Amino acid sequence: MPAVTAPAASLTAARQALKRYYGYDNFRPMQGDIIQSILSGQDTVVLMPTGGGKSVCFQIPAVVSEGVCVVVSPLIALMKDQVEALKANGIVAAYINSSVSQGEATDISRAALSGHLKLLYVSPEKLLGEGFLQFLKRLNVSMFAIDEAHCISSWGHDFRPEYTQLGVLRQHFPSTPIIALTATADRLTQRDIKTQLNLHEPRVFLSSFDRPNINLVVRSGQDRLGQILDFIGRHPNDAGVIYCLSRKSCETIAQKLQQKGIKAGYYHAGMTPNQRAEAQEKFLQDDTQVIVATIAFGMGIDKSNVRWVMHYNLPKNIEGYYQEIGRAGRDGGPATAILFYSFADVLSMREMVTKDVPPRQAQLNTAKLERMQQFAEAASCRRRILLHYFSEDLGRDCGNCDICRNPPTTFDGTLLAQKALSASARTQQRVAINLLIDILRGMRNQAVLQHGYEQLKTYGAGQDLPYLDWYSYIHQMLNDGLFYIAYEEGYALKITERGQQVLKGQLPVSLKKFKVAEKAEKQTRAAKKAAAEAAAAGAGTPEARLFEHLRQLRKRIADEQGVPPYVVFTDTTLQEMAREQPTNRVAMLSVSGVGMKKFETYGEVFIEAILQHGTPRPVPAEDEADDLPNVPPFTDDFAPAPRAAKKAADRDATPTEDLSFNLHRQGLNPEQIAAQRGLTVSTVRSHLEKAYAKGLDLRLHDFLSDSQLAEIAAARAQLGPDAGLRDLFDHLREKYDYFQLRLAGIRAQRKG
């Protein structure tokens, strides 16, 4: 049983942990309420868009609660990314899945049993495997977090049968809170999550699905490659994803981009696991700018600086489309989602989603594909359409989609809408789109006559309009939130509260006629030119140059440690550093995204880079009051934190480095030097490492014995010359920290 503390006190501890480990001063909207619900021991359902901060909602409670949080996650890549990020923040976490050896799994199990772990990630297959539930009963499990919970529902877009068995958790752990989290769940999927997990009176938190930073654009399917090259040419340093329908398309497009000098790779299910892992790793490490992929790529990939996502073909449903575009702009910065559309894509996808599936599933797939088609052909605000699909009303047009920037001509469609709504109401809201249109047009077919719909007052009320016009208008009504489709009731149209207001004459309706644009990009050339000029001007500013300098430093550190660059710092954190130019501890810790652990690991290196780059802005004095929360850091030997230092041979020593080295020669250890000079231990170690790399004599045996040096040398020889520090760190089971490994490497170079 997890320890339950008073919600108010727990929430205070949670805020302190947020600052210390994540470097943020405040929770995002709804996070605080969700965390308080979890800490009170209540089952909780969290529906929050990609990039909205779902992970923090269970990671923070895990940190401040006694015991270990068990996280069920569907993909190895998702677990790996989240565990690396947690370790970088100073939180002890691990994962067990098919990629983990038996020896590693044993070590992790021991760490969990001894109370060293705060979060343990497992796949659903592993969780349900023989003996694992019994193992969990030996732990003090604080909570279960079911990530990507939409996978539990056959109504969802990413159904996974093994998720349906997770209901056994309630049987084995009746008093342990369960948290279910997802970014994409329609009404039926939400219902399945609650019932199949056997949640007990769960609190449901439905965050806004709005991602206002993503610019939504639909373009004609003509000359797709030319449009892609044009876009990338105007965004040469931005990482992006191109989703394709087929494996062959992925390879072909990637090859054509490579021929144009673009660092592009591809990813699909036809590749070997090693090939997929390599392609994904290069993209995460910023070695590849563009990844061209099938939908096999991306679920749970937490790369924060993806600036754009393109769909080369029409997605098969809105849930999948929404989740895929959510991989852009996770850091909150501006992002673009471009969808190429042609009716040929609809025909291809319709055949794909109905082939070799049961009739009920084929019908559901077709209905969802039609909603995706409606989105692509829409003549009203695209963001409102997306949000209406998830039962959310934005209440206004977004201003950040192609329709809002170039609005079509509208007309008063209130009377047409009232005819359609009235006809639906008179059928007791039992008919789907096609039959409703037949009633409005006065058709005398079997479906109409069988139910007596020709007797309705609204029968034939719209006979002056052709079928395709009514089809377009009713789709617009769906998109505007006047109807929703009840898939479980034969795809019947149901009238929403907004629709009732229109029916009663309380709300007017504007309708548009959809016309395919002759050119895909209808934004004015003047706007394009202004954007290009602004980008060019911005690239030359001191702030932009410093950002690029910090970005390159981050890349070197990430490569050295074998982690994705965003694990070091996100783009938004680097942008704030470039803007504020912090040059001491207090100022750096005030930057959003710089927690205590990351400051200790990277802070001094980035401060030094800022100082070297130019004149900083005025900053608080080092001795100003520091109101950081008094939360003890995790110092467990099971997960020693990596630290970063730029290669010392790249530049001359500074007076501060000389002073640290001289104190070392006098016999002081790094902790004593740090205390005497008012520095962090990591900074002193960096100074000593640079001195050793420059050829100065270091008391190496203060840090490594001969036997330890021999062990590291043997491991390096076994791994080969291409192995990075992270490979060596993992191979040696985290026995040595990065400082020791770098010293051993410098010694080997000096001897060689």
Same domain? For 442 and 504 the reply is yes
Please tell me the least confidently modeled range out of 144-148, 504-508, 533-537, 718-722: 533-537
Q: Which residue type does 584 have?
A: N
**184 CB-contact burial (10 Å; exposed 0-12 / middle 13-18 / buried 19+):** buried
Residue 577 lies in a domain: yes
Same domain? For 62 and 162 the reply is yes
Q: pLDDT for 222-242, tens place per residue?
A: 789 999 999 999 888 899 999
pLDDT at 630 over 90: no
- The mean pLDDT value for 645-665 works out to 61
Which pLDDT belongs to residue 519? 35
pLDDT at 520 over 60: no
Residue 188 lies in a domain: yes
Which pLDDT belongs to residue 634? 36
CB 240 within 8 A of CB 306: yes
Return the axis-axis angle of helices 31-39 and 54-64, rounded to nearest 10°. Answer: 40
Q: What is the CATH number of the domain that holds 309?
A: 3.40.50.300
C-alpha 732, offset from chain centre: 31
Higher pLDDT, 292 or 673: 292
pLDDT at 521 over 60: no
In angstroms, the first-to-last Cα distance of the chain is 57
Per the prediction, the chain carries an average pLDDT of: 82
Q: What is the CATH number of the domain that holds 606?
A: 1.10.150.80
User: Which of these three, 405, 421, 438, is where a domain ends?
Assistant: 405
Same domain? For 373 and 242 the reply is yes
Higher pLDDT, 366 or 310: 310
Same domain? For 222 and 143 the reply is no
- The mean pLDDT value for 419-424 works out to 96
Q: What is the CATH number of the domain that holds 474?
A: 1.10.10.10
Contacts of 584 (CB under 8 A, 6+ apart): 607, 619, 620, 621, 622
Same domain? For 683 and 550 the reply is yes
Residue 534 lies in a domain: no
Please tell me the pTM assigned to this model: 0.58
Same domain? For 336 and 315 the reply is yes
As a whole number of angstroms, the distance between CA 147 and CA 481 comes to 29
Same domain? For 590 and 707 the reply is no
Residue 530 lies in a domain: no
- Measuring CA to CA, how many Å separate 519 from each of 117, 216, 223, 280, 528? 56, 17, 10, 34, 15
Structural domain range at position 662: 542-696
Residue 241's CB is within 10 A of a number of other CB atoms, namely 24
Same domain? For 136 and 279 the reply is no
As a whole number of angstroms, the distance between CA 711 and CA 721 comes to 16
- Measuring CA to CA, how many Å separate 643 from each of 561, 562, 681, 732? 8, 12, 11, 17
Beta-bridge mates of residue 339: 218, 311
- List the structure tokens of 248: 């062959």
- Helices marked H in 565-603: 565-568, 571-580, 585-589, 596-598
Residue 528 lies in a domain: no
Same domain? For 712 and 652 the reply is no
Which pLDDT belongs to residue 640? 32
- Helices marked H in 596-677: 596-598, 604-613, 655-665, 670-677
Which pLDDT belongs to residue 631? 37
Which pLDDT belongs to residue 423? 96
Residue 533 lies in a domain: no
As a whole number of angstroms, the distance between CA 470 and CA 462 comes to 8
Which pLDDT belongs to residue 718? 79
CB 353 within 8 A of CB 365: yes
Q: pLDDT for 104-120, tens place per residue?
A: 889 999 999 988 899 99
Which pLDDT belongs to residue 505? 94
Q: pLDDT for 41-93, tens place per residue?
A: 999 999 887 767 888 999 999 999 999 999 998 877 778 888 988 998 899 99
Please tell me the least confidently modeled range out of 345-349, 552-556, 607-611: 345-349
As a whole number of angstroms, the distance between CA 665 and CA 698 comes to 8
Which pLDDT belongs to residue 337? 97
Q: With pLDDT > 70 as the criterion, what percentage of the chain qualifies? A: 86
Higher pLDDT, 660 or 142: 142
Same domain? For 179 and 159 the reply is yes
Name the 3-class secondary structure at 35: helix
Residue 527 lies in a domain: no
Contacts of 128 (CB under 8 A, 6+ apart): 162, 165, 166, 168
Question: How many domains would you assign to the chain?
Answer: 5
Task: Show the CA angle centred on residue 579, arms to residues 578 and 581, nearest 5°.
Answer: 65
User: Which of these three, 145, 172, 206, is where a domain ends?
Assistant: 206
- The mean pLDDT value for 574-584 works out to 89
Residue 88 lies in a domain: yes
Q: Which sign does the torsion angle of CA 446, 448, 453, 455 carry?
A: negative
Q: With pLDDT > 90 as the criterion, what percentage of the chain qualifies? A: 29
